[in-house]
Amino acid sequence: ALTRRGIWATNTPGAFVESTADLTLGLILSAVRRIAEGDRFVRRGEWEKTGFQPVRWEGMLLGGKTLGLVGYGKIGKAVEKRAQAFGMYTIHSRTTPDDHPDCRPLETLLREADIVGLFVPHTPSTHHLINEQTLALMKPGAILINVARGKVVDEPALVEALRGGRLRAAGLDVFEAEPKVNPALFEMDQVVMTPHLGGSTREDRRGGRLEAAENVARILRGELPLTPVNQPC
């Protein structure tokens, strides 16, 4: 409709890459080291009752583990850079396979990865991409991180995989019916949840506003915008 009316549509596709990548690593670290769970334990006064129990709080190291990136766009690549700094091995899958030696079909990636991160848009082809069948392919004790879109994951299937011990933990910044959250997730200490704050940093939000303003300024000057999503007649 905009195109037919001669109106430009633009977006800011790279505005929140660094913020979302940082949050992804935060969710990973919180899941593998049980940071949020430990925080709640201390706040409830439980630590005063039990004392020092290092075995109880055993997590796992990131070094040497395999991170599977489902979606290998700007955010996926930014996460890869951070993960490799922790000594992780990274593999990825994408809609259009590439010749990169670390590119895998989704099914293979799920079988190989210790941690799976989701970085794909929600489309008809990615709706419930992670479901009962694909969760069953994941390594026992694997961790799922979702900073993409809530509807990429079948939440009831995820709940069952966590309840049954198939997955070790999950880190979720997005939810299928957000801001409503599946009540079963509240009962699971191994699930780390944040309120869709992937892009919420001062720097990236300012950058997004500036990019949007630059698009408008270019159009008003009769120039092509930086990031068009259409081509008006």
Residues serving a catalytic function are 149, 178, 196
Phi first, then psi, for residue 144 (nearest 5°) are: -110, 130
Going across the sheet that includes 66-70, the strands are 89-93, 66-70, 115-118, 142-146, 167-172, 191-193
Closest residue by Cα to residue 167 from 154, 158, 176, 179: 158
* Assigned token pair, 200: 């919420």
Sign, CA dihedral 43-46-51-52, equals negative
Cα–Cα dist 193/119, whole Å: 17
Any idea which residue has 């593998």 for tokens? 32
Closest residue by Cα to residue 203 from 16, 73, 74: 16
Q: What is the 3-state secondary structure (H, E, C) of 149-213?
A: CHHHECHHHHHHHHHCCCEEEEEECCCCECCECCHHHHCCCCEEECCCCCCCCHHHHHHHHHHHH
Closest residue by Cα to residue 106 from 150, 69, 152: 69
